[in-house]
Amino acid sequence: MYAMKYMNKQKCIERDEVRNVFRELQIMQGLEHPFLVNLWYSFQDEEDMFMVVDLLLGGDLRYHLQQNVHFTEGAVKLYICELALALEYLQRHHIIHRIVTQFLEEESMPTRDIKPDNILLDEHGHVHITDFNIATIVKGAEKASSMAGTKPYMAPEVFQVYVDGGPGYSYPVDWWSLGVTAYELLRGWRPYEIHSATPIDEVLNMFKVERVHYSSTWCKGMVALLKKLLTKDPESRLSSLGDVQSTPYLANMNWDAVFEKALTPGFVPNVQAPEGEGLAGAE
């Protein structure tokens, strides 16, 4: 079964989203991975554009957080591994994952990042990254420089670009977002009290003076991994699959089993298969 996403052409024009839609199609046509929401077919008629994608029935992680689901360390550990494989795959294809979901209140900039809202579960509880409509491709030593993202999940170097131009940013921003997401799943709130309306200078000051507090109930290995993902300096941050695999906490992980979805997730959503041949969703 598949899901069909359809977008009204006139609305895309009114929202100035045509370029983003075609970028998403271009990128997704070249991707296929067990931990992404994959595109299988696309077409259009006079009024709408259609994308046929994987059907994920388990809801997004934001929904489950709002339902007060308690994610165990074991569940989050597997999520980190599955998402690390997906990010490594995107990195090999020169892609920084960027997602439009809302607009920042004071700057009116589109959002982009890995966060619970953009991670869907299948019926077995495995994670899948969705939405590539403003993903960006960087090659070699290229850097991205546009200041956009959902503030609570944005890496420090993205804010720095807005303040002084900075040197730009690259793949490490996605790994920072992974760290924020993993922390939030474990604790129920994020490592920094940053909201969409928080001024950028205040955010940067938080990064300078505030320390992230890790629960004393978490194992030392998980804390060490999160600290390395949430390292403020992108040059020192874990930012590749090899970096993650080399941590003591994941030294004994069977990565082939992770890739093959042979490991049972710690949380399995309660889903009912829809009647009929598929689902459709409009934008």
Distance CA 177, CA 155 (A): 7
CA-CA distances (angstroms) from residue 175 to 62, 169, 271? Answer: 18, 12, 30
Rg of the chain, C-alpha, whole Å = 19
CA-CA distances (angstroms) from residue 31 to 88, 92, 195, 224? Answer: 12, 11, 32, 32
Query: Residue 58 carries which DSSP code?
Result: S
User: Between 107 and 45, where is the model more confident?
Assistant: 45
pLDDT value, residue 48:
94
pLDDT value, residue 20:
80
244 phi, psi to nearest 5 deg: -65, -45
Domain range list for the chain: 2-53, 61-259
Backbone conformation region of residue 165, classed left if phi is above 0, alpha if psi is from -120 to 50, else beta: left
Distance CA 144, CA 3 (A): 32
Q: Which residues pair with 6 in a beta bridge?
A: 50, 282
pLDDT value, residue 108:
30
For the chain, give the percent of residues with pLDDT over 90.
69
pLDDT value, residue 174:
93
pLDDT value, residue 54:
96
Show the tokens assigned to 37.
């929401």
Q: How far is CA 223 from the centre of its chain?
A: 20
The CB density around residue 94, as the number of other CB atoms within 10 Å, is 14
Query: Which tens digits make up the pLDDT trace of 110-147?
Result: 334 578 988 999 999 999 999 877 678 888 888 988 76
Given pLDDT bands bounded at 50, 70 and 90, which one contains residue 205? Answer: very high
Query: Which tens digits make up the pLDDT trace of 217-258?
Result: 999 999 999 999 999 999 999 999 999 999 999 999 999 999
From 113, 117, 131, 174, active-site residue: 113
CATH T-level assignment (fold) for domain 2-53: Phosphorylase Kinase; domain 1 (3.30.200)
pLDDT value, residue 137:
85
Q: Reply yes or no on whether 113 is catalytic.
A: yes
Query: Which tens digits make up the pLDDT trace of 60-86?
Result: 999 999 999 999 999 999 999 999 999
Q: Please say whether the beta carbons of 114 and 178 come within 8 A.
A: yes
CA angle 39, 146, 161 (to 5 degrees): 140
CATH T-level assignment (fold) for domain 61-259: Transferase(Phosphotransferase); domain 1 (1.10.510)
Residue 101 has pLDDT above 80, yes or no: no
